[in-house]
A and B are shown apart, each in its own frame.
Chain A
Amino acid sequence: MSVASEDFILDTIPQRIEPSSKRGTRRMNVSLIAGFAIIGLLLVAGIVAGFHPPYDPYATGDDPFAAPSAAHWLGTDNLGRDFASRLILSLRTDVLLSLSTCLLAALFGAVIGLTAGYFGGIWDAVSMRVVDGVLAIPGILIALLIRVILGAGSWQLVLAMAVIYTPMMARVMRAPALQLRTREYVAAARIAGIPSWRTVSTHILFNSLSPMLVQAASIASNAVAMEAALSYLGQGIQPPQPSAGRMVFEYQMYMQTDPLLVIAPTVLIVLLSFGWNLIADGFQTYFSLSESDRL
């Protein structure tokens, strides 16, 4: 099959699902816009400040527990490190961790779920029992197991969370595939001689995008909380690299005297999780509107 002919199909596949003009587009999707604004802003702030932090987030100073000032916006921590710089760096870590977890889980979950639903049979039975099995184990236990086997670190954490969330995505993606495989346009594709992998990656995938995006965003939100929990337990991001959960753990003993050290990373976790949830919610609204316009 030539590359050119593939381009033709790709050109004619919509790059995004367009709601028709009547109602959907004119009403602002506040959740989606706010969600993307929060996550986008935090990501940009994290990346920009990662290259140009106000201070070196790892450099200790001789002024521990300094109050917020013009020089140190959020003061300094127990070792005299600039707290704002550390918070911004942990921001980048957390956004990237949740993003890569959600991408990995979406990729593997979609492949497993869509093929299980589409092909059915033994593959469906086996993969769905494995999914059931993984879902039955508490996520934090899986993460700890992987941490014991592979050691602690960022990529191990992403891998562990991908293992935890892939089954959720697979379960969600199986349902539309099961439903779509009986559609006549899928039958027409089979008659036309379109190979199964292409049918799954075009007809089935494109018509399953709405549950997929909603689920991916809510996985990202869960991953933020999971990362915070694991880092709080000391099993996630390792010192000296800052992460929000890790900071709550490190600074909790100074909570009485310097509550900002705990409050700020907590607010960060909530904000990130909230941002991803807004995106999930926004996707849901967006797709239900465009779907109803189609009818």
Chain B
Amino acid sequence: MTNDERRATETTETTRTSPILSVDHVSKRFRIAAERYLTAVNDVSLTVSTGETLGIVGESGCGKSTLAKMIVGLERPDVGEILVNGRPVRGSAGRHRGEGGVQIVFQDPQGSLDPHFRVGASVGEPLLAAGLGRAEIQTRVAEALRMVELDADAARHYPHQFSGGQRQRIAIARALAARPELIVLDEPTSALDVSVQAGVLNILLDLQNRTGTSYLFISHDLSVVAHMSHRVAVIDRGSIVETAPAERIFSDPQHPYTKALVDAIPRI
């Protein structure tokens, strides 16, 4: 079964388990000057079910990354509640004891890996925080690296010895090592060459098939989002303007902004 077929059959399923992620009327604004505020996220509500990919699409500066930061707990929402598997996401410190929780893959693989840490140390970091023993960390690091089609030997090398695509796979392995219920993918392929984008995307799809992890896939590229996601939420200036199954976003966009986005996709 190809990925597209799988997506098609899954979206037709009507019964879904309780949501892994529920974002309930969340708003966040930043003070940019005295008495002047920028509303980055405005009354956003969404849910992601087990094994589902929700795509978030919108142009630069629309609040996608702020939303991602709130979901992983790097920022605190001003209003509203974010629940991951029924538990609130608090502050920053970790309470995902080696299993479950949320992990994130950032846009720029150059900046998301510490240049002075060997790959094994970076990938094993969430497990170390979870209090796992050395042997178990090593096993799970090797396992996570294999899942992203890297040699277990990669653990002994430094990030600068890898290409951009490989580094992004290492970042995915770090997210996977903690066996999260949800991975937030914040523009995971935007910084990569087109030639390696497909490879990373396919690894992500394959991983979801095998592990049933939910994804929140954030991108400004509607065609990539539609390829990856079951459902797509379109964000414009901090608010969700439309949520629809991936195929319907293309065939039957409702909101004018979504129409504009679909029209903006170059066709050959």
Chain A residues touching B, majority SS: helix
B109-142 residues with Cβ-Cβ distance < 8 A to A are: 111-118, 120-122, 124-135, 137-138
B174, A188: Cβ atoms closer than 8 Å: yes
Complex interface: stretch among B31-39, B89-97, B248-256, B258-266: B89-97
Q: Which of B118, B131, B134, B161: most chain A CB closer than 10 A?
A: B134
Q: Which of A1, A18, A20: most chain B CB closer than 10 A?
A: A1
A192, B131: Cβ atoms closer than 8 Å: no
Q: Which of B111, B126, B129: most chain A CB closer than 10 A?
A: B129
- On chain A, the residues within 8 Å of B134 by CB distance are 2, 4-5, 7-8
B129, A8: Cβ atoms closer than 8 Å: no
Name which residue of chain B comes closest to A191, CB basis.
B72
Name which residue of chain A comes closest to B119, CB basis.
A12
- On chain B, the residues within 8 Å of A8 by CB distance are 121, 124, 128, 134, 137-138
- On chain B, the residues within 8 Å of A6 by CB distance are 128
- On chain B, the residues within 8 Å of A293 by CB distance are 160
B96, A193: Cβ atoms closer than 8 Å: yes
Nearest-neighbour CB distance to chain B for A295, whole angstroms, equals 8
Nearest-neighbour CB distance to chain B for A106, whole angstroms, equals 18
Contact of A23 with B by CB under 8 A:
no
Contact of A141 with B by CB under 8 A:
no
- On chain A, the residues within 8 Å of B74 by CB distance are 187, 190-191
Contact of A294 with B by CB under 8 A:
yes
Measured CA separation A188–B103 after assembly (Å): 8
A191, B103: Cβ atoms closer than 8 Å: yes
Interface size bucket, A side? 20 to 34
Known: A183-B111, A185-B113. A194 touches B106 (CB 8 A): no
Contact of A184 with B by CB under 8 A:
yes
B133, A194: Cβ atoms closer than 8 Å: no
Contact of B23 with A by CB under 8 A:
no
Known: A7-B134, A188-B106, A188-B174. A194 touches B128 (CB 8 A): yes
The 8 A CB mask of B175-207 against A (1 = contact, 0 = none) is 000100000000000000000000000000000
Known: A14-B118, A185-B112, A185-B114. A194 touches B129 (CB 8 A): yes
A20, B160: Cβ atoms closer than 8 Å: yes
B124, A9: Cβ atoms closer than 8 Å: yes
A193, B133: Cβ atoms closer than 8 Å: no
In addition to A4-B134, A193-B93, 17 A-B residue pairs with Cβ atoms within 8 Å of each other are A2-B131, A2-B133, A9-B124, A14-B118, A14-B158, A183-B111, A183-B114, A187-B106, A189-B125, A190-B74, A191-B74, A191-B94, A192-B129, A194-B129, A195-B93, A202-B114, A294-B115
Would you mind naming 9 contact pairs between A and B with Cβ atoms under 8 Å apart? A4-B133, A8-B124, A8-B138, A12-B118, A183-B111, A187-B74, A187-B106, A188-B174, A194-B125
Q: Kindly list the 4 A-B residue pairs having the minimum CB-CB distance in the complex, ordered from nearest.
A: A193-B94, A192-B126, A12-B121, A193-B129
